[in-house]
Structure 1
Amino acid sequence: MFEPSANVSEAFFRHLVQTHALGHRGFHGEDHWRRVLFNGRMLAAATGANLKVVELFALVHDSRRENEDHDPEHGLRAAHHARTLRGTWFDASDDEMELLTEACRLHSDGLTAGDLTVRVCWDADRLDLGRVGLRPSARYLCTDHARRPEVIAAAYRRSLLGADA
């Protein structure tokens, strides 16, 4: 179930769901977005990352995928799309938009260094790898909190079950 916040409304979530051309039966649709949102909220609370950026990333990062397999430009398309949504569906400062677009643009590149908020975005996504049959590895996570064995185990269980929390 989607839980709105001061940063992401139910209407915004529904808009993204309805305009996601790929559909939601695969690995990169609304169920994944909700788990990334859950992971991101947990990580932001533990690390002090910018919650607004993390929540926006969770919903936007895969919203412009064109297929479920190799789609190297989907992060760049998501970053551009986020800029078009600003001012209509959410407000964000210029600094927050820079973080959001960087997180979206580079989230599939395997990077682990950078701004804390960007790293939390990437970890929130990577913790949901169970949906594609992979257990997240601490080696590819960016924050100490995400690398904790109990965090990885809980996220892996959620992704296998398809559960939001």
Structure 2
Amino acid sequence: MGNSARLLHDHALILQEILRDYALPLGGDHGVVHWARVLENGIRVAEANGGDAEVVRLFALFHDSRRVNEDVDHGHGTRGGDLARALRGTLVHLDDARFALLYDACALHTDGHTTGDPTLLACWDADRLDLGRVGIVPKPNLLCTDRARALLPWAHERAVAAHAPTEVLSSWGMTPADY
């Protein structure tokens, strides 16, 4: 797929669709501010390790999109991947190989894997780098990439401070009143 196919996603429209049935508070531990930090973390890792930045962007939106509680929620990543699959062809435009990466990134993001495709590693590190929001300091040896280990102090500080990436959130059509 050429570069033009990589630019077809309307992330704000995807977010609107996700939020139709989102069960948790938008400002909760697994809500939109977390997703925006995951996006920023993931782009930085993907740029360094050759991961697919558009899959990382979609992962940020879908990985926690079907949680039903803020605590242990087995299967939520698979449910997020299933939602992406349901939107494939209308709002999600990835070829089979790239969609498989998105689905696997979502479905496996809480399983603790540290090896695999660079896009998967960027996604998983992006989420793990934001564990500070729930009082967990990420362990460097549980991160997948050297880039994530280098980003850990920066990302952890932002997570603990509940930093809201306003540029990302604004690009998704969100205002501070929304979250």
**TM-score (ref. length: structure 1):** 0.90
Q: Deviation at 1:23?
A: 2.5
Q: Deviation at 1:44?
A: 1.2
1:100-119 matches, cutoff 5 A: 100-119=102-121
Counterpart residue number, 1:92: 94
Q: Deviation at 1:138?
A: 0.8
Percent identity at matched positions? 47
- 4+ long deviations beyond 4 Å: none
Q: Deviation at 1:136?
A: 1.5
Q: Deviation at 1:39?
A: 0.6
Instruction: Give the AA of the match of 2:34.
Output: H
Q: 1:47-104 CA distances to partner (integer Å, 9 max, x unpaired)? A: 1101111111011000000111111111111111110111111210100111111111
Which of 43, 59, 65 in structure 2 is aligned with 1:57? 59
Counterpart residue number, 2:132: 130
1:25 correspondence with 2:27: yes
1:144-163 matches, cutoff 5 A: 144-148=146-150, 151-163=151-163
Instruction: Give the AA of the match of 1:154.
Output: W
CA distance in 2, matches of 1:28, 1:146: 20
1:64-83 matches, cutoff 5 A: 64-83=66-85
CA distance in 2, matches of 1:101, 1:67: 21
Instruction: Give the AA of the match of 1:122.
Output: W
Q: Which runs of 5+ in 1 are unaligned?
A: none
CA distance in 2, matches of 1:15, 1:125: 22
Which of 19, 36, 42 in structure 2 is aligned with 1:34? 36
Q: Which runs of 5+ in 2 are unaligned?
A: 1-5, 166-179
Which is bigger in relative contact order (C-alpha 8 A, separation at least 6)? 2
Q: Deviation at 1:140?
A: 0.7
Counterpart residue number, 2:169: none
- State the number of aligned residues: 159
**TM-score (ref. length: structure 2):** 0.83
Instruction: Give the AA of the match of 2:133.
Output: R
CA distance in 2, matches of 1:15, 1:161: 28
SS at match of 2:106: helix
Instruction: Give the AA of the match of 2:41.
Output: N
CA distance in 2, matches of 1:157, 1:14: 29
